Structure 1
Amino acid sequence: MIQLYKKGNTDYKKNGDIVLLPTECLLDSTLNGDWIGSMSHPIDSEGRWKWITDDAVIKAPASDGTQQLYRIVNYDIDDNKGVTCDLEHIFYDSMDDCWIDDKRPTDTNGQGALDSIITNPKYTGSSDISRLSTAYYIDKNLMEALNGSDENSFISRWGGEIYFDNFHVSVNKRVGSDRNVEIRYGKNMNGMHLNTDMRDIVTRIKPKAYNGHTMTNNGVVDSPNIDKYRIIHKKAMEFSDIKMREDAQDDDEANGIIVCDTQEVLDAALTTAAQEQFELGIDAPTVSGEINVFLLQNSKEYEDVKELEKVCLGDTVHCRNKRIDVVSDARVVRLVWDAIREKVNSVEIGELAYNYFDDVSSVKNAVEKVINVETNTVIAEKVQGVISAANAILMAQKDRANKTEVKAILMQDTDPESPSYGALCLGTQGLMLAMERTEDGSDWSWGTAIDYRSIHADYIITGILSDLNGTFYLDMETGELVMNDGTFKGVLNTYKDVGIGNWLYLGTQATDGNFSASGITVGPVGSGTDNKPLINMWGNQNNRSGSINILPFSGADDCSIFLTRDNSGNSIQLKTSALTINGKGGLTGTYQVTNSLTVEKGLVTGVS
């Protein structure tokens, strides 16, 4: 029986204002999708059709045995066909009357999140999801918060599957049950369109334990269905929760890790683990598609699918392929229910897919916009925006992350022939990367390490290096260092020991021609004896410390560097191990330089 409540009547616990006699009433529900419907009613002499108006509500029997409320959202009247209308589940009303101004469920489970975002006592919610997460909801309605496209939606942060029951919503780990319903297929049937995907079948497993340990003689485990296919589908699988004693940590067994003392024990553990994969259906094809029970009910093939009349949304069904006699499990991801005949009209089976990270790409695109595609360099004035956007990506990742008691994890591929050969160790203190093993093969040879303060690597390859505020940038390819305020542009080099036969390298060159070496100004070029360029060094403090960097002048055969006194008349003193006089390096302590160096095109040729 389908009852109608006229607009304004919200006493749904009582009978409706009138009983309708529609010719069709189909309720279409999709797992984590739309709950909608359609209804057709004749233009009857009693005038029941006149009650079908916008905002009226019908109550109809549902597939789970309950009575569900649906609101009429639009209708159309045709003198010949009667009245047709579209329906939305009554919980869709929460798009209008359950508004969230600012709610931030923080570090809470699914139930805590629902309690926070359901702001109208008219609605209730329940969840068995124990994982902890955090989300921010500002100016959203309840339906958006539950399953909107925003990355903060409940489904994105906590996961789960949504099921409506009038004004109550449950978001649990899983909807439906296994009612032991089996459908049989294997030939084309009018009303049944199923796709069988054989690409991911595995009928032979080569199991590997933690750290690459295998069964005796690289043994394998075969599926009971291995002979039902034309070829053997083999795959290597790693079971990192199975370890040999030498690889185990003290608390592994307490944490559920299987620790094996002998090869025989390891063989048994790996065999059991592989067999469990076959029990989970890895040796069966993936089945998806649609079955129209209404079309099949008058055919002889109806016997193969009639049990579908018992299923509900989210249920597991067992699909038996009559050609190869292999059973695959699938979920009812969409169900169309005939509320007049009170039976399933059609179902869609397959697997519910989740993709929580699509929206993060918009943040990533913002980062990519600060790259100059013509020069393949960072746009200096946008460096601060780069960091802000990068932080936004990491914060988006952090907000989606699940808390875990594990303080560190090791991901590795120990097969040298594998394209993903290598290891990543990730924990609360940083991460390490390796692409090769140590010489004795006992561990990975870690080539890169990143902690909170630094990066240690054999190579750090980059194009442009800049500070946070864009004050300067350094072109790592050309060595050009540029101050964006125009005070400096030049080539940055490092110094080497000064001594006969050694080269002197350029220090930082200012636009006024002066040179700076660790606080000591070396500047301006003058004219000396025999037209040799002279560089006088002076300072305004006593006992300066640092190193001396000198420009190899072009266009001159040699130059002399005279160390003179500071502004107070004191001799300049250098505390350095970088300066070598007469080939004697490694000077320590305070060393007073009073002599001059003769430099010929940057090469030290004499000390006087």
Structure 2
Amino acid sequence: MIQIYSPENENYENNGDAVLHPSSCKCHFEVNSEWNLEMVHPLDDRADLIVENAVLKVPSPYGELLYEIKKLDKSEYDIQITAYPFFMKAKKIFIFDKRAVDADCLTALNVVLDGSEFTCESNIKNKNTCYFENMNAVEAINGDVDNSIIKRWGGEIAWINNKVIIDNRLGADNGARAEFGYNLNSVQESIDLSDLCTRIYPKAYNGYMLPDQESVDSPLIDNYPDPYPKVYEYQNIKLAADASNSTSEDDILCGTLDDLYAALREAAVNEFANGVDKPSIQYTVDMVDLSRLDNYKDFKDLLVVQLGDTVHVKHRRLGIETSQRVLSIDYDCILQKIDSMSLGTDVTGYFDQVGAITSTFNKVVDTSTNTLLADKVKGIIDASNAYFKAQKNVAHKQDIRAMLFEDLDPSSETFGAMCLGTQGIQISKKRNEENTDWVWGTAINFESIIADYIITGILSDKSGNFYLNMDTGELVMNDGTFKGDLDTKNSIKIGDKLILANALNNFQGGFEGHIYVGDDDSETNILMRDADDYPMAGNNYRGMFLNAGDVSISLTSENSNKKVFIDAPNGISINGNNGLTGTYTVSESLTVNSGLVTGVK
């Protein structure tokens, strides 16, 4: 049954304003992509109820789901409707400044949805930090910005009425099976062998490989007409003699070469267990057409799968079995069954790339000290040196010291020049005004790089104590110093403490911190002083001074002598009442305002 609720009717637990009788109604679900509903309804006596922001309740694989109508196209005979999950109404929640600090995914979701009617669920336990500023709640959860939950924590999303679920993965492996490889119009098949590997030459840290050009072959190598060889590098497999002192917990240290060879063979076998010897296959399955086939029993398990489920697919022609994920489903809400689906070995590539970037970063960063792991940085440098050494070994000596490549036709797509020589590389895309030479821009020499743009991931010093992660915008500097002024358009946000502690030359073991409101040396400032043996040996002096022109308040503690000084040339005022100064004779009463004498009778 498909029901409609008017925009004013929010009692979704009861029956709607009417039952609709559409000619077509299908829901589309896709992993980490669009969920929507498309419906076609005749222009009958119920058509007037179909308006923008009305809510539809429809059957689905997740039970009854609510969708809000956002687009209508009316023709002479019917109305075409596009609606989106009810949770999209959370766009009305605007966030000025909320933060999830060192939190798991569920905590971050609760920060975003706090105080609203929307709920959340997540099984992602890894910790991260995210600042939600000037965005709505849906953007904070699934926006294409760095500070969104899906970018920081990853996972896969389901929009279930007023609840959002973000789990490590949607669906499950319930043992569903299917057999493809027939010549069927109802099954579209795309096979990609570009990343296939059936023969591995494993390489360890420092370039060690198996002896006598030995390879590790896949059990499926004979299923293909030719082998697919690749070198797999395992920088974490090391001879103990080669390992630095700063090894990580992922490192496998081997006492002998035989131990190292055994570890390499095991690592290669694990690659095949993870499916590198199977092609990437995508299937698009039309369940309606498939149901008419005599061998429909081979596909019956597909009737009950849900988004994200694993399906074990046997491919008759290739003679292999692959594990496919249900990447999308089109569900017929009238017939209440799956209309079509897509199966694939790749799950929504973009979000996997986000996860890959995060996992790589975590392997490089030592979270206990907040520095880049020195041996990882050294490994990158060593690898670069190894590549350049290999390049040098195969290079052919030339009589010339530099070469110029140029395309002088301004209309050409390859217009530009590159000068390559023993002193470096120069690149240009512009001629000088006289058109006699190139205006060289990008330059690389032995010591430096000059360019308008450098696009990279992590910039780090050689020790890993200072680095800038371009992907996340995080600048980490351990025991570093900023020189010059720090100007920002917005406020500066401090973590737990703001510590101002400049050593004083004329204080024994003393420190001083100064905050100015305005320019340096402004008359409006706060001074904090902490000194030993001042103003004489044996004294412990602590003080805070608030200064605003001629007015100041001082709080001091000198050994056991604790004082508060107020210097106000024009007197002290409380709640608009000035305090009295002088000698008075009291005949009737005193007027006291918050401890200050403000009147005498």
TM-score surpassing 0.5?
yes
Separation (CA, whole Å) in 2 of partners of 1:69 and 1:28: 13
Conserved in 2, the CA contact under 8 Å of 1:60 and 1:67? yes
Which of 130, 134, 140 in structure 2 is aligned with 1:139? Answer: 134
Indicate how the Cα distance of structure 1 residues 307 and 348 shifts in structure 2: closer, same or farther if over 3 A, else same: same
Matched, 1:209 2:204: yes
Conserved in 2, the CA contact under 8 Å of 1:98 and 1:119? no
Aligned to 2:70: 73
Aligned to 2:184: 189
Aligned pair count reads: 391
Which of 61, 65, 82 in structure 2 is aligned with 1:86? Answer: 82
Conserved in 2, the CA contact under 8 Å of 1:105 and 1:113? yes
Conserved in 2, the CA contact under 8 Å of 1:333 and 1:352? yes
Indicate how the Cα distance of structure 1 residues 258 and 314 shifts in structure 2: closer, same or farther if over 3 A, else same: same
Q: Give a deviation string over 1:26-81, Cα, whole Å, max 9, x none.
A: 1112221211111233455xx444433332212222213x221111223445564x
One-letter amino acid of the counterpart of residue 286, structure 1: S
Indicate how the Cα distance of structure 1 residues 99 and 354 shifts in structure 2: closer, same or farther if over 3 A, else same: farther
Aligned to 2:49: 51
The unaligned stretches of length 5 or more in structure 2 are 355-359, 391-443, 453-601
Which of 257, 263, 273 in structure 1 is aligned with 2:267? Answer: 273
Conserved in 2, the CA contact under 8 Å of 1:207 and 1:214? yes
Alpha-carbon offset, residue 103 of structure 1: 2.1
Aligned to 2:318: 324
Which of 234, 242, 251 in structure 2 is aligned with 1:239? Answer: 234
Aligned to 1:550: none
Matched, 1:459 2:446: yes
Indicate how the Cα distance of structure 1 residues 223 and 409 shifts in structure 2: closer, same or farther if over 3 A, else same: farther
Separation (CA, whole Å) in 2 of partners of 1:101 and 1:403: 32
Aligned to 1:377: none
Question: 1:194-593, aligned counterparts within 5 Å?
Answer: 194-248=189-243, 255=249, 257-300=251-294, 302-350=296-344, 351-355=346-350, 404-405=367-368, 407-408=372-373, 410=375, 422-423=382-383, 435-436=388-389, 459-461=446-448
Alpha-carbon offset, residue 284 of structure 1: 0.5
Q: Give a deviation string over 1:460-498, Cα, whole Å, max 9, x none.
A: 145699xxxxxxxxxxxxxxxxxxxxxxxxxxxxxxxxx
Conserved in 2, the CA contact under 8 Å of 1:410 and 1:423? no
Separation (CA, whole Å) in 1 of partners of 2:451 and 2:335: 70
Conserved in 2, the CA contact under 8 Å of 1:131 and 1:402? no
Alpha-carbon offset, residue 286 of structure 1: 0.2
Which of 151, 154, 179 in structure 1 is aligned with 2:174? Answer: 179
- % identity of equivalent residues: 32
Aligned to 1:32: 32
Question: 1:100-139, aligned counterparts within 5 Å?
Answer: 100-139=95-134
SS at match of 2:190: strand
Aligned to 1:3: 3
Indicate how the Cα distance of structure 1 residues 141 and 13 shifts in structure 2: closer, same or farther if over 3 A, else same: same
One-letter amino acid of the counterpart of residue 7, structure 1: P
One-letter amino acid of the counterpart of residue 383, structure 2: A
Q: Which moved more, 1:222-231 or 1:291-300?
A: 291-300
Conserved in 2, the CA contact under 8 Å of 1:411 and 1:423? no
Separation (CA, whole Å) in 1 of partners of 2:265 and 2:5: 61
Q: TM-score, normalised by structure 2?
A: 0.58
Conserved in 2, the CA contact under 8 Å of 1:293 and 1:306? no
SS at match of 2:14: coil
Alpha-carbon offset, residue 12 of structure 1: 1.8
Indicate how the Cα distance of structure 1 residues 413 and 464 shifts in structure 2: closer, same or farther if over 3 A, else same: closer
Indicate how the Cα distance of structure 1 residues 345 and 434 shifts in structure 2: closer, same or farther if over 3 A, else same: closer
Aligned to 2:160: 165
Alpha-carbon offset, residue 270 of structure 1: 2.3
Q: Give a deviation string over 1:352-397, Cα, whole Å, max 9, x none.
A: 34547999xxxxxxxxxxxxxxxxxxxxxxxxxxxxxxxxxxxxx9
Alpha-carbon offset, residue 178 of structure 1: 1.6
Which of 81, 93, 100 in structure 2 is aligned with 1:98? Answer: 93
Separation (CA, whole Å) in 1 of partners of 2:224 and 2:296: 28
Alpha-carbon offset, residue 196 of structure 1: 0.1
Q: Give a deviation string over 1:173-203, Cα, whole Å, max 9, x none.
A: 2122122223332244223222100111111
SS at match of 1:340: coil
Conserved in 2, the CA contact under 8 Å of 1:76 and 1:85? yes
Conserved in 2, the CA contact under 8 Å of 1:318 and 1:330? yes
Conserved in 2, the CA contact under 8 Å of 1:100 and 1:119? no
Q: Which has the larger radius of gyration?
A: 1
Indicate how the Cα distance of structure 1 residues 135 and 436 shifts in structure 2: closer, same or farther if over 3 A, else same: same
Q: Give a deviation string over 1:141-198, Cα, whole Å, max 9, x none.
A: 1122222222322222222211111111112221221222233322442232221001
Q: TM-score, normalised by structure 1?
A: 0.57
Question: 1:8-27, aligned counterparts within 5 Å?
Answer: 8-27=8-27
Alpha-carbon offset, residue 216 of structure 1: 4.0
Conserved in 1, the CA contact under 8 Å of 2:365 and 2:373? no
Alpha-carbon offset, residue 301 of structure 1: 5.6
Separation (CA, whole Å) in 2 of partners of 1:348 and 1:268: 40
Q: Give a deviation string over 1:420-442, Cα, whole Å, max 9, x none.
A: 99526xxxxxxx999459xxxxx
Moved over 6 A (4+): 356-359
The unaligned stretches of length 5 or more in structure 1 are 360-396, 415-419, 425-431, 438-456, 466-608
One-letter amino acid of the counterpart of residue 348, structure 1: S
Indicate how the Cα distance of structure 1 residues 411 and 203 shifts in structure 2: closer, same or farther if over 3 A, else same: farther
Indicate how the Cα distance of structure 1 residues 231 and 398 shifts in structure 2: closer, same or farther if over 3 A, else same: closer
Q: Give a deviation string over 1:73-123, Cα, whole Å, max 9, x none.
A: 23445564x44322211011112x221122233343322321222244211
Indicate how the Cα distance of structure 1 residues 221 and 148 shifts in structure 2: closer, same or farther if over 3 A, else same: same
Q: Which moved more, 1:157-166 or 1:182-191?
A: 182-191
One-letter amino acid of the counterpart of residue 261, structure 2: D
SS at match of 1:178: coil
Conserved in 2, the CA contact under 8 Å of 1:128 and 1:172? yes
SS at match of 1:14: coil
One-letter amino acid of the counterpart of residue 94, structure 2: W
Q: Which moved more, 1:243-252 or 1:127-136?
A: 243-252
Separation (CA, whole Å) in 2 of partners of 1:259 and 1:23: 66
Separation (CA, whole Å) in 1 of partners of 2:372 and 2:151: 24
